[in-house]
Amino acid sequence: MLFYKFFAAFGLSFCLLTSGSWAAPDLTIERITSSPALSGSAPRMVKFSPDGARVTFLRPSAADYKILDLWEYNLTDRTEKLLVAAARITGGVEKLSQEERARRERMRITSKGIVSYSWSKDGRKLLFPLGGDLYQYDIQDGKAKRLTQSEAYETDSRFSPMGHYVSYILDHNLHIVDVRTGESRQMTRSTSPTIKNGSAEFIAMEELDRDTGYWWSENEEYIAFVQYDEAPVDIGQRYEIGRDDFKVLEERYPRAGTRNVTVKLGIMTVKTGQVKWVDLGLNEDIYLARVKWVPDNSGIFFQILSRDQKKLDVFFADAETAKTRPILTETSKYWVNLHHNLKFLKKGREFLWASERSGFNHLYHYKSDGTLIGQVTAGKWVVAKIQQVDEESGDVYFSANMDTPLEQHLYRVNLLKAKTETPVRLSQGGGWHYFVFPKEGTDYIDYYSDPVTPPQVSIRNKSGDLLSWIDQNKLIKGHPYFPYRKAHITPEFGHFKGPGGDELYYRMYKPAHMVKGRKYPVIFALYGGPGVQLVKRSWDKPFHQILAQSGYIVFTLDNRGSKNRGTAFEGALYRQFGKVEVADQVAGAKFLKGVDFVDPNRIGVQGHSYGGYMTLMSLFKAPEIFKVGVSSSPVTEWRLYDTAYTERYLGQPDKNKSGYDKSSVFPYVKGLSGKLLLVHGMADDNVIFNNSTMLLDELQKNAVPFDFMAYPGQTHRLGSDKMRKRHFLHLIKRYFDENL
């Protein structure tokens, strides 16, 4: 998926005010790229321990917000404690293998230190990777013990469900370690350099939201795993230009319209290592999207997505025989959006499933053979995730945007009363919530923020009542953002009817102390692509605030194609990019022209990845509106991008030549009459540098003036370290200051 999370990392607003004789300090780019993090100490990756005695989480180090440490919150005495400081083990230096770097790029992991961990079933030990090796932390003795020590880099490590083994991937093969004896076993072996076992292939991680390639059964008797062969994928060349070196890398990259890997699914008996292969059908040109064990260990549910992504089939495969039977099929005239909303009930005799068949994502209740029992939720709103099911009461807890597209809340509905009962909202506050439930139970972790409240983490009961704060993260003296709180600009939210007849939602930051009669320049901070929602009532990060305090209006609009508005709204961009998205952004500019404090002749635009593409298309196709733009890491030619993402929306190039041609930026480059700054990382393995070199040449051969900045050694995560992030943000602001 295009790297929209990068945009989110740089998208917000905070400002400067004075109060009486005391002058608040300026919020600067230097400060927002320094430690500690301005958003405070809010935990990440929060989990209940299996015994329910504590909650563990990752937290940025006070010395370096890029490094994550492992912490616990004790639920008995309500105290928190640092368990493992990553820098004490690594010395602050962490070298990643090429494979791990690529894996983290796919998983959008921008931090260092302890970036993942898992619990043993008995709640006594924590497993985490660090610096290329695996460590085990013992809750009782408070010590971290190194489990592996080698030049190789173990990835995708975890405890097995019952805690008897530690499993990991090494050199694309599955290994397990017996916790009691320390004995290590290599469970798979590749017969060819192109065959990989237990790993998630590039497309699975980048576009299918599947970041693993193996799954334990709950009783630890079986492991289901993926074996894929990269041989069919074309070998292409990609260059990485660093500070003082130049590499030409040969790699297998599945560009739109070319072949993907071939995939096999095996079920291995752990004791013997014997593998039975699941019949995935005669058509090899498929995506293996999901695999999940049935709670009674009888087999797995697996999901096959067609190459055109209009059909998703769910099958059951027996653990002992690997024989399969169909469960259900989903189809769409646009594309089927994958999800993780499969929840087994009654030890697998029933299950809950999410579907967009009504035009909006809702929950359905099935028997294990695929017989529909009934629809659980309905309406012109979207279910995000099944959070928990209390089987005794029949209550289903789920997150959704039933109240407004701008907020996400927790709701409850009863399976027995679903036809007559309106879901009950449980979460409080008018903002955005994420939830973490234990494996069993209805007390949950609530991760909340809104435009004036930095992330807060609490434990609440099934009625939404507060039980305990894990981190209230209050904006009081001592909080990193406290000196800037009085100057904080609260964004305005609104909506208007767009050219397609839909309500389009926007967020707008206005400069503090606006002068009546003065007209202000506007910067459109956008993404615009599918699968993303930017306009929501949540806490943001500070760059947009710096722009606002400098006198800019910062405007973000979720155009058609954006997430969480239903299939018709999202499907509006099907078969052609850069058409309805630009039309909606233009409508946003026309809406602003009706506001008396907006200067209609000074409208700029800025975005990264798909947002970079949208910046180019806005400048090229609507030059009368958008005068200045900063486009970073843009796709310029969609035939260069990968199969699953591009074909999901545009189809295959040979079947939609016109759509691909019209979606490229090149037919429109002569339309540029304003100022363009093009930015790209010279080691980008997602939106490869060729996207920008092609545009450089096209602009030059047409004598179209523009500006350009390249970042040696930087991947798609421009600004992956503090100083380069600082340079990049100064670059953006300076360009708008000089030209807008």
Which positions are catalytic?
609, 684, 716
User: Which sign does the torsion angle of CA 466, 467, 472, 477 carry?
Assistant: positive
CA dihedral of 86, 87, 89, 90, whole degrees rounded to 10:
110
Burial class (CB in 10 A: 0-12, 13-18, 19+), 477: exposed
Q: Let me know: does 687 contact 678? Beta carbons within 8 Å.
A: no
Classify each residue of 68-91 as buried b or exposed e, where b means 16 or more C-beta atoms within 10 Å of its C-beta: bbbbbbebeeeebeebbbbbebbe
SS (H, E, C) 593-661: HCCCCEEEEEEEEEEECHHHHHHHHHHHHCCCCCCEEEEECCCCCHHHCEHHHHHHHHCCHHHCHHHHH
Q: Give CA 386 to chain center in angstroms.
A: 18
Cα–Cα separations (whole angstroms), residue 123 to 118, 127, 230, 507, 732: 10, 11, 39, 44, 48
Angle among Cα 516, 522, 523 to the nearest 5 degrees reads: 150
Choose among 107, 128, 48: nearest CA to 470. Answer: 48
Number of continuous H segments (helices) and E segments (strands) in the chain: 13, 46
| 3 state DSSP class of 381 | coil
User: Which sign does the torsion angle of CA 571, 572, 575, 577 carry?
Assistant: negative
Which residue's entry shows tokens 């991008």? 641
Burial class (CB in 10 A: 0-12, 13-18, 19+), 702: exposed
Residues in the chain: 740
| 3 state DSSP class of 87 | helix
Q: Let me know: does 45 contact 57? Beta carbons within 8 Å.
A: yes
User: Which sign does the torsion angle of CA 280, 283, 284, 287 carry?
Assistant: negative
Q: Let me know: does 442 contact 408? Beta carbons within 8 Å.
A: no
